[in-house]
Amino acid sequence: MIISFRCPHCSAELSFEELSQDESPCPQCGKAIPLRLTGKMRNSNVVDQCAICGLEKLYTQKDFNRVLGASIFVGAAIVSLILYGYSHVLSAFLVLGAAAAADYLLYLALPEVTICYRCHSQYRHVSPNAANSEFELGLAEKYDPKDKTKGAENPAAEWKQH
């Protein structure tokens, strides 16, 4: 698995793949980052606990690149408008339909990413864990309340904006 997270000390964006150690130094600030790795994470590639903050609640979502998805559609809309302007009405609608289909297929083909409710660490290339389900707002509010002051407690708070 690959863990992407923010350094709890300096907030640098990091990703770790080598998970044999119980702690690793941050390549940016050099401070040790403790890794709470469970047996399942080490042996079965399954995330049952956040290695960075230790929380046992994680959710899964499609690893969707919204910029890519949106640009497909914007591009198609422009082509469609030009065709419409030249009275190719049927072609204009076909282009839009094809773009919607492409977006949908792209979505289906996307891998899933597992994300920690509290610190937003992201786990990619993991084996599925049935205990991790889709995002629930109630759990997000419980573990990472919006009114909490920003800072070291949650170095990845701005990742929520995506």
Residues that bind Zn ion (CB under 5 A): 7, 9-10, 12, 26, 28-29, 50, 52-53, 55, 116, 118-119, 121
Of the candidates 140, 151, 147, 148, the one whose C-alpha atom is nearest the C-alpha of residue 115 is: 140
Nearer to Zn ion, 56 or 63 (CB): 56
DSSP state of 157: G
Nearer to Zn ion, 10 or 79 (CB): 10
CB 114, CB 47: distance < 8 Å = yes
CB of 75 to Zn ion, least distance (A): 37
Nearer to Zn ion, 95 or 120 (CB): 120
CB of 69 to Zn ion, least distance (A): 27
CB of 138 to Zn ion, least distance (A): 17
Q: Give the strand order in the sheet containing 58-62.
A: 13-16, 2-6, 122-124, 112-116, 58-62, 133-134
